[in-house]
Amino acid sequence: MRKFVVFLLVFLVIAGFYPKYTRSSETKIKGICIHGEEIEKQGAPDIMGKLKEEGFNTVFLLVKNPQGYVYFKSSDFPVKYPILSDTILAAKKYGMDVYVYFPVFMDQHYGTLHPEQCMTDISGKKNSYYVSLLSDEYLAYLKKFVRELLQYDIKGIVFDYIRFPNGKYDFSEAFKNLALSDGIDFEYVKEKAYETFVYPADWKTLFVLADSDPEVRKWINLREQIVENEAQILTEYIRNIDPNIKIGVFSVARGCASKITDTDNIKETYEYQVANFGQAPDKSFPFVDFVSPMVYLNSLKEKPEYTISVVKKFKSANKKRDVLTAINPYGIPAKDANLQILYALSFGEGMILFRYPLFTAGKITFEQIPKPDFSFKAKIYTPKGITEKTFSAKNEPFYPVCNDIIFTNGFLKYAKVNIFIGKKTGRKTMLPFYKDEPFEMDTAPFIKDNRTFVPIRFVSENLGANVFWDGEKREVTIERFVMID
């Protein structure tokens, strides 16, 4: 008898959606951001129909722009285009959910009317776009805005720009007084910020001191706390009105892979993120339903695999909170965008593309489930028509390779587990993520009466399934939802 057992799960085709590994059959979110100008220009029914064909199931609509104009009928706020109702109706027709998002502390209309409530930079200048996080009046303004939003049949609300623009803000008198009341040497911190952002503008000093200098650390902690408090106040206010609404945050995604001692590229470090933006990927916003880290490779200068690091970082911080990776295809190869989408759907609970219509989307279907080391055919649907392409699993990565199209509906995944009789160490292969990695089990497989006994939890979980044990019923449940297009 052979002395090993091989479990092979051949090329799962993640098509339509890559569903969540939970006890419900809820599918993963495949969303896209869209601005009201596009709805006004093309019409909600036309756009929703196209997005549905391309495999999206969720729309994230900007409902208040940075200038402070809203996209629904209102007598209390300046209106740009009243398109929210039409968007919701068209989305429902195609079975799509509508989430809305808005930049929380960017509102030029309000800032122009109330300049005394705007953020102040290190040089003492105020910016009408950035309203102070300490403004109770603006918080009341936002609550009124949110209450109007909740009159519409939306699935969720996402906070965008609930942070500082960068470390140059906020050095207003209000923040100075708050810092002094917390025992912070405000003038010392201001001096280090000046060196970092104004002269000699090294974009380094404050970040290097983020962990080692107690005064700088206290300043950073204060800014993080203010951001967190504002987000929590808004979250609780929304849930008091509608406890079923989903609440999320668009978050900066830097600092998920490196500490400042590990790299020369300061802009990609944890310290750069927390000192600049007042957000920390390992602890910010624990009270929301989901967080959407913005993994924009054209600005991060990273490889698609960075998406995996980001999702894992955010998941490790709060396992109960979903991670919907925000991806911007602009300025990067389409194949890298495809990989990002694959990683986001496989390691998190969904993805959000920013934004319609900045890229060419398509979908892909397979005539058969591919096998390792063989060629297989696929049909590619694009705005230009339908074409066929032959893929070689042996010579190409396990995802659609087309340089001018971003697929949102179908990807390939291959998983294999090898376990050995009498040994607690097995090996697993899961492509395209990693190759041939060992894993440990708490018991070794064995053979008794010509039957092979294996630890089912370890085998199942290493093939991407969830295992549940019901002690009362003495029942084991193994779940993995896969939809094949």
Residue-wise pLDDT for 58-95, tens only, equals 999 999 999 999 999 999 999 999 999 999 999 999 99
In order of their start, the domains of the chain are 25-358 (3.20.20.80), 364-409 (no CATH)
Neighbours of 57 (CB within 10 A): 21
**What percent of the chain is modeled with pLDDT above 90?**
56
Alpha helices in 278-354 (DSSP H): 297-300, 306-317, 334-347
Q: Residue 263: which residues within 8 A CB-CB, separation 6 or more?
A: 269
**What percent of the chain is modeled with pLDDT above 70?**
88
DSSP 106: B
Output the CA–CA distances (angstroms, integers) from residue 185 to 178, 287, 366, 452, in the order listed.
11, 31, 63, 68
DSSP element (H, E) containing 248: strand 246-252
pLDDT-based confidence at 25, cuts 50/70/90?
A: very low
Check residue 295 and give its pLDDT: 93
Alpha-carbon distance of 275 to 271, in angstroms, equals 6
Residue-wise pLDDT for 257-273, tens only, equals 677 776 677 887 888 99
Alpha-carbon distance of 254 to 270, in angstroms, equals 7
Of 405 and 416, which is predicted with more confidence? 405
